[in-house]
Amino acid sequence: MKHLPFTTKLNVLCISLVALQLTSCDKDTSDTTQQEIVDETEIMENIYFPPVHSSEWETLSSSALDWDISKETELKNHLENQNTKAFIILKKGRIVKEWYFNGFDAYKTWYWASAGKTLTAFTMGQALAQELVNLNDATSNYLGNGWTSLTPEQELKITIKHQLSMTTGLNETEFTCVTPTCLTFTAEAGNRWAYHNGPYTLLQEVLTKATETDYNEFFTSQLKDKIGMDGFWLSTDEANHVYFSTARSMARFGLLMMNKGIWSDENLLKNESYYNAMTTTSQPWNAAYGYLWWLNGKENYMLPGSNTLYEGPLIPTAPKDLIAALGKNDQKIYVIPSQNLVIVRLGEAANAENFALSTFDVDLWNLLSEYMQIN
């Protein structure tokens, strides 16, 4: 099976590219460590949204939240020892912890890997709200006939919803390929779950056709600029489109999701039913998968590269309502609505290379649950 071919050489090249091209940091180069600590009573009353395109971001001390600060050193050491580069905890939008390791800092960028799939899921919801797409439309309506090597009858059964839920029935062993010759038949659409990058990647082409706008332009105007994200999409080979950004931009998107697609006073998604569908089980084979989001607290789960069904929740040590953007080698956005929490982790693989879930998730949440005193 082919997977995202990230190499150290590529990462160094892309990070260097950002130093030259990224403009958001030029807009405010003030010391990001000098943050205002707001009144505790105000924090418990409202969700905070950091200003767009600014390094200003209110903070909150862990002691004000009655977290167990005696556990903090253990958590920080664990993250550093597990190849972490950036780690952020938001509570109701305010930064409680922001740690950088191994020469990384708030202005450096890193790849999201498959955690970036959730950005495409969100922009698809925006196009749906604008009535530019219908999830039950055949993908062929946008990509034309012959975008796969299937028979016309088989191909017409594949819909946008199948692409979002990883149920196209296409052969996932050609993992990243997006050309017709390698998009071959395994099962009728809607009859199996298999993690497959190619059909996902083509969702961006679907959006380009549906919006009559380049996907990157649609993403930038509808999502990125609205919440003050930095970063860019980069083709890491001839097929994959991978998002790179700072850790704070990742946290901004997590905050948007925690608030159900509403940023401050603006509803960017305008579609609560789509949000609910995106963050609940999307098909009967993998209970822990929505529309490109991973879901905790379900009765079973499947993982990329396998058709094995595992019993129990995705991360048993984490809150049941956690939803997650999971990327190769432990790129993480955890969103926990019941706790008003967003947690971001960027870095190298904590242990062995992986494509979504790893033992790191369980171990980290053991420490986080003790630190934040979550039962």
> In three state form, how does the secondary structure of the chain look?
CCCCCCCHHHHHHHHHHHHHHCCHHHHCCCCCCCCCECCHHHHCCCCCCCCCCCCCCCECCCHHHCCCHHHHHHHHHHHHHCCEEEEEEEECCEEEEEEECCCCCCCCCEECHHHHHHHHHHHHHHHHHCCCCCCCCECHHHHCCCCCCCCHHHHHCCEHHHHHHCCCCECCCCCCCCCHHHCCECCCCCCCCCCCHHHHHHHHHHHHHHHCCCHHHHHHHHHHHHHCCCCEEEECCCCCEEEEECHHHHHHHHHHHHCCCEECCEECCCCHHHHHHHCCCCCCCCCCECCCCEECCCCEECCCCCCCCEECCCCCCCCCCCEEEEECCCEEEEEEHHHCEEEEEEECCCCCCCCCCCHHHHHHHHHHHHHHCCC
Is pLDDT of 20 > 60?
no
CB 112 within 8 A of CB 236: no
Measured CA to CA in angstroms, residue 166 lies from 151, 307, 371 at distances of 20, 12, 35
Question: What's the whole-number mean pLDDT along residues 314-338?
Answer: 97
CB 355 within 8 A of CB 309: no
Predicted local distance difference test score (pLDDT) of residue 121: 98
Q: What is the pLDDT of residues 160-170, one digit of tens each?
A: 999 999 999 99
The phi and psi torsions of 153 (rounded to 5 degrees) equal -65, -40
Q: Report residue 310 as tokens.
A: 């595992």
Is pLDDT of 232 > 90?
yes
Provide the β-strand partners of residue 341: 91, 336
Which is more confident, 32 or 200? 200
Q: What is the pLDDT of residues 111-135, one digit of tens each?
A: 999 999 999 999 999 999 999 999 9
What pTM value is reported for the model?
Answer: 0.89
Question: What's the whole-number mean pLDDT along residues 235-241?
Answer: 83
Q: pLDDT averaged over the chain?
A: 90
Is pLDDT of 22 > 60?
no
Is pLDDT of 24 > 60?
no
CA distance 156 to 189: 9
Q: Mutual orientation of helices 197-211 and 117-129 as an angle, nearest 10°?
A: 30
Predicted local distance difference test score (pLDDT) of residue 97: 98
Q: What is the pLDDT of residues 29-52, one digit of tens each?
A: 333 444 445 555 556 679 999 999
Find the length of the chain: 375
Q: What is the pLDDT of residues 216-228, one digit of tens each?
A: 999 999 999 999 9
